[in-house]
Amino acid sequence: MEQQVQQVRTEGASADTRSQPNWDIIFPLFDPLSNLLAARLKKRFKHLRKWAKRMKLSCYRLYEKDIPEFPCTIDWYDGEVVVWLYRRKKDENQAQQKAYDDLVISEIQLGLAINEDQISVKRRYRQSDDEGKRQQYQKFDQSDACKIVEENGLNFKVNLRDFLDTGLFLDHRNARSWIRERSSGLKVLNLFAYTGSFSVYATAGGARSVTSVDLSKTYSQWTEENLNLNHFDSICDQRVISADVIAWLKHAHLEKDHYDLVVCDPPTFSNSKKMKEASFVVDRDHPWLLADIAKILKPEGRCFFSTNSRQFKLDEQKLSTAFDNIEEVSQLSVPEDFRNKRIHQSWWLHKK
């Protein structure tokens, strides 16, 4: 039995030490024959793949810190896996953390019957050198490891290795469907558009026009690629703009450029040198940002607003002069494959 388990653990792996967890460091906390994470992944995958097939999904969340001893997050991307590793204990040294990381990767291989080259590893903790000095997050790859995935019958390009995020936020799947359902015949604006997934859904929903604005030229180009993947580049009036969203909003107001529906999913924090403002903090700055959005909304227009800030509290008092009705939809917006029901907060804001 022990030989069989060890064979499965190392199958398809290179001589790299990541494929050979140092059990002496990990034990007695972990028993190599218990396979807690592997068993959990096998069970979840068996359940979710049937649901995903019905929903026309090729990417979804498999695991989210379900087992206390394994504080990691694992997403399935059409035959490949992205795992986000977190620090298990604050007082663990570098060798112990590495041994734990190696164990997680080994368990994923065992539970999902995949090879190590099908796993993309992201670390959500600062790493230290041999002397214990803090280092920045590891540099991203430049492998251009892109693939096309399906979500609700639509296609999106994802990059599983080169960026901290893949290009498609899986936790906003429900919200994207809402935008598709509500976009027919409307003039839609997607702010902080990232890779344009909301824009693709709005176009699929029959929007009259869709404008996507993001500071990054890389992401703006990615938006155009996602539109092209679905042959949506010429279905309606499409504008993809690389610009500072805050400055662009003020310009749109001066030009009397008004919209029926606005999507706003801003970063929690930004201090990009390309911005005119010194910094943007969503907890602090959302009242005036949403007030500026209200100025370019048509009468009875509405804004979908979402944030991943953990400590965020919407200032409804300051927003009451700009919006007639504010409806929180946070619980409804989190997909069923997500265990963390507070991964984001979301609202519909209706203009007076």
Could you tell me if 65 and 71 are in contact, meaning their C-beta atoms sit under 8 angstroms apart?
A: yes
Are the C-beta atoms of 151 and 167 separated by less than 8 Å?
A: no
Within 13 A of 27's CA, how many CA atoms are on the CB side? 8
Q: Are residues 129 and 197 in the same domain?
A: no
| 185 and 75 within one domain | no
| Cβ burial, residue 279 (10 Å; 0-12/13-18/19+) | exposed
Based on the domain organization, do 31 and 125 belong to the same domain?
yes
CATH of the domain at 128: 3.30.750.80
Q: How far apart are CA 37 and CA 41, in angstroms?
A: 6
Number of domains in the chain: 2
Asked if residue 280 belongs to a domain, the reply is: yes
In terms of residue numbers, what domain contains 103?
2-135
- For 220-232, write each residue's pLDDT tens digit: 999 999 999 999 9
- The reply to whether 193 and 338 lie within a common domain is yes
| Residue 172 contacts residue 195 (beta carbons within 8 Å) | no
Residues 220 and 130 in one domain: no
Tokens (6 digits) for 278: 């010194």
CB 54 within 8 A of CB 42: no
128 and 17, same domain (yes or no): yes
Q: For residue range 99-129, list pLDDT tens digits in order.
A: 899 999 999 999 999 999 999 999 876 544 3
Q: Examine the domain organization and report whether 128 and 193 are in the same domain.
A: no
Encode pLDDT of 190-212 as tens digits.
999 999 999 999 999 999 999 99
Which residue, 82, 115, 135, sits at the end of a domain?
Answer: 135
CATH code of the domain in which 229 resides? 3.40.50.150
Of 135, 160, 188, which marks where a domain is finished?
135
Task: Calculate what percentage of the chain has a pLDDT beyond 90.
Answer: 73
Residue 128 lies in a domain: yes
Strands (E), 224-341: 237-242, 259-264, 269-270, 280-281, 297-307, 323-328
